[in-house]
Amino acid sequence: MARITAGVATSHIPAIGAAIDQGRTREPYWAPVFAGYEFSRRWIAAQQPDVVFLVYNDHASAFSLDLVPTFAIGCAERFAPADEGWGPRPVPEVQGHAELAGHIAQSLIQSDFDLTVVNRMDVDHGLTVPLSLMFGQPPAWPCRVIPFAVNVVLYPPPSGMRCFRLGHALRQAIGSFDADLKVQVWGTGGMSHQLQGPRAGLINKAFDQQFLDRLIEEPEGLAQLPHVDYMREAGSEGIELVMWLIMRGALAPRVRTVHRFYHVPASNTAVGHLILENPP
Amino acid sequence: MALHKPYLDIPGTTIFDAERARQGYHLNSFCMALMKADNRARFKAGERAYLDEWPMSEEQKQAVLARDYNRMIALGGNIYFLAKIFSSDGLSFQYAAATMTGMSQQAYAQMMLDGGRSPEGNRYIGEKR
C-alpha cells in the first residue's frame, strides 16, 4: 500500500526562485535563506519519496477570474512551468502521477470534498519554488508530483478546518492506493506577508512562531483560527497558511519534527519551513 | 441578510472578496491578457488604445495609466493580477509594494531587512500606535 512518510511546509516566494535561477543564492541577502534548506536537501536525498502531493496556490497563472476552483487536483501525466510574464522558470517539467491522482480525486469526492479535476494546467512559482528549494537544480525532478491547487486569491479561501479535514481524507485516500509508494505531502505559501496597500510589508514573527508551534502540537485547535485573524495578524496574503493544515491533517496526530527554520525577510515575506515525519 | 465582513476594519488593506471581484473583473482580465507577449507589445505601443478595447470604467483606465496601484485595488484590482502590469514594466514586487506604502523602494527594503512592518498599531483602523 502507498504510505505517507513525511510532511514538508515551506514558503514559495517567487524572488527565491529568481535567486536560484540567476545563481545568486550565495549573495549576503540570500545566503541565510538557503542555509535553512541545506539540511532539507540532505534529508530528502536520503528519503527518496516516490511521489510528492504538493499543496500550493496558483497566482493568476493557470486560473484567471474566469474559473476559480477552491480545490483543484492535477491528474495529468505532466505539467509545464508557467510563463508568469517574464518567460517560464528554467526548471524541469513536472511529471505527474495520473493513476494515484485519479485515485485520490475519486476517494476525496466520495469523502465529500468536491474537487475540481484538472487535466491541463501550467504550474507557477507556488509549485516550482518549493521543488527548487528541496531538490536544487537537477536536470529532472527526482520524483512524481501531484499538484493540488487551493484558491487563496479570491476571498474566502477554504477554512483552516476544511483544509485540516481534507488532510485527514487525503491520508485515507493515499493509504488505500494499492502500490508500494512513499508519498510526502507538502504544504506551501506563507508565512506572514502583505503585498498590497499602505500596510504592505507587514511581518508578525510572534504569530508565525506560534503558528509553527501549534501546527506541530495542536493542529486541531489551530484549524479553528478564523480567516480574519490570519489577515489581521499575518497580512492579507498570510492567509496562504491555511494550506499548511492540509499537510498537517494528512499526517499522524503525533509527528517528529526533524527540521524547523524561520527567517525574515525574503523580498516582502517571512520564510517558514518545517519537516515533520510520521511515526514508522 | 448582508454577508459578515469582519475584515473591513483592517487598516491599509483591501480584501479581494466577491464584491471587489465583480467590480474588478474586466480590470483583472486586462491584466491577465498581459501574460501574452503579443498583448504586452500592443499595450506598450499604445496604452490608452489598448485599454479602450476592454469594458473597464474610465476611472480604472486612468488608474492603470497612472500606475496608481492603491487606486486600482480600490477599483477591484487584485494584486496578483496587477502584478502583470508592473512585471510588464520590468519592475519588481518589492517596487510595487513600496509605491503602495508611499515609501521609497530603498526605505521599504530597509524596513523589510529590519524585520518588516510591525503589527503593533496596524491591526484596526483608528487604533492608537
Residue B69 in grid coordinates: 496601484
CA distance, residue B128 to nearest chain A CA (Å): 15
pLDDT band at A25 (very low <50, low <70, confident <90, very high): very high
Catalytic residue among A125, A227, A259, A273: A125
Which residue type is seen at B111? M
Architecture label for domain A3-277: 3-Layer(aba) Sandwich (3.40)
d(CA A272, CA A40): 13
**pLDDT score, position A263:** 98
Q: Is the pLDDT of residue B1 over 80?
A: no
- Looking at residue A84, its pLDDT comes to 85
Q: Write down the pLDDT at residue A184.
A: 98
Q: What is the ipTM of this complex?
A: 0.95
pLDDT tens by residue, B2-16: 899 999 999 999 999
CA distances from B83 to A134, A200, B79 (A): 26, 14, 6
- Residue type (1 letter), A189: G
* Candidates A60, A236, A268; nearest CB to B13: A236
pLDDT band at A186, cuts 50/70/90?
very high
Q: Is A103 a catalytic residue?
A: no
Residue A113's contacts (CB-CB under 8 Å, 6 or more residues apart) are A71, A166, A169
Q: Backbone dihedral region of A183: left (phi > 0), alpha (psi from -120 to 50 degrees) or beta? A: beta
- Out of B6, B25, B88, the one facing A85 most closely (by C-beta) is B88
State the CATH class of domain B18-89: mainly alpha
* In the predicted structure, residue B128 carries a pLDDT above the cut 70: no
Residue A230: pLDDT above 80? Answer: yes
- In chain B, domain spans: 18-89
| Distance between first and last Cα of chain A | 14
Helical ranges in chain A per DSSP H: 14-21, 31-35, 38-47, 98-110, 125-135, 160-175, 205-217, 219-222, 227-234, 244-250
In the DSSP assignment, the letter for residue A254 is: S
CA–CA separation, A33 vs A10, rounded Å? 12
Residue the block writes with cell 523602494: B105
Q: Give the pLDDT mean for A71-81.
A: 98
Contact B69 A196 (CB under 8 A): yes
Confidence of residue B129 (pLDDT cuts 50, 70, 90): low
Residue A201 sits at the vertex; the CA angle it makes with B84 and A149, to the nearest 5 degrees, is 50
| In the predicted structure, residue A94 carries a pLDDT above the cut 90 | yes
pLDDT on residue A86: 76
**DSSP string of B43-65, one letter each residue:** HHH-HHHHHTTS---HHHHHHHH
Domain coordinates in residue numbering, chain A: 3-277
